[in-house]
Structure 1
């Protein structure tokens, strides 16, 4: 990113489960002063009840109409909404082995600590062993999400696309990133 150009104000972070989307969104929100909206809070009600898809679309559309935002993911049924207004897509195209290890480690921690994930929901051994397991979702979506990110990077649907294939590539980019002032420009 050129330090003299305004930094993108509408950022979609995309990748498979376990890639680190929420962690990156939290960090970018803090460093850049942009509001981060955790997608899980918009898509899951208490008791892991999925929000109906039309309501999810409306919630995402309301966020995407704002001046600035960071989303830490996108579901295929409303992916078109943030794509239509994003200034930047950050693709975390990490290996299956790395993302699966991270996901397993995070899931084990969440189960053992009972930490709330969103809207009062917690991971349990039962949820991990169910047909709706985040582990199964990882396997089911990995190839599709990877192909999508690589297609965007090769021929962007509109917004700029930064595709990171390793955590080291992402770390190098983050080290070069300057905090952004309220006007959307990197400080001189």
Structure 2
């Protein structure tokens, strides 16, 4: 694994896994949230984000954390592995709420400085609707790409897989 994507619903633990996996595989880790967001929760333009991604995916080794379905098409052709944290949404909601509480008012380590964690009802509803919208689109984008997808359904699956590396 030299060019790895870590995807899944919000709150699944993509950034936590990416940090650990990047260290284990000695890969540089890039967080989509840091690439996309500017201080003050200002979103990068699609062109800015695509330009940043083009500079990364052209390298021999990397790990990119984040689903960001609109840019999977720019990343999947270069990836040799996709780690898909396909966790139950109830677990992800609990983890998201814990993250919001833990980092409330300050930026979390995988987010751009100047983007303090906050409760966003629209974001929560996005996560609650993951299985009927974002998941369907993500699954469709994965089809047709010759990339190894490692689908993990629980934190226990993840631990077993990490232990096997």
2:71 aligned counterpart, secondary structure: coil
In structure 2, the residue matched to 1:169 is 157
In structure 2, the residue matched to 1:118 is 112
Pair 1:129–1:166, CA change in 2 (3 A): closer
Unpaired runs of at least 5, structure 1: 1-7, 178-188
Alpha-carbon distance in structure 1 between the residues aligned to 2:17 and 2:29: 10
List, as ranges, runs of 4+ consecutive aligned residues in structure 1 with deviation greater than 4 Å.
Answer: 148-153
- Residues 98-147 of structure 1 deviation map (CA, whole Å, 9 limit, x = unaligned): 11101111111111x634431321013xxx246xx432331243433433
Pair 1:141–1:54, CA change in 2 (3 A): farther
How high is the TM-score relative to the length of structure 2? Answer: 0.89
2:5 aligned counterpart, secondary structure: strand
User: Where do residues 1-188 of structure 1 align in structure 2 (5 Å cutoff)?
Assistant: 8-111=1-104, 114-116=106-108, 117-124=111-118, 128-129=119-120, 133-148=122-137, 157-177=145-165
Larger Rg: 1
Contact kept? 1:91, 1:149, Cα under 8 Å: no
Alpha-carbon distance in structure 1 between the residues aligned to 2:156 and 2:138: 18
Pair 1:164–1:109, CA change in 2 (3 A): same
RMSD: 2.0
Pair 1:10–1:142, CA change in 2 (3 A): same
> Across the two proteins, how many residue pairs are aligned to each other?
163
Unpaired runs of at least 5, structure 2: none
How high is the TM-score relative to the length of structure 1? Answer: 0.79
Alpha-carbon distance in structure 2 between the residues aligned to 1:129 and 1:26: 25
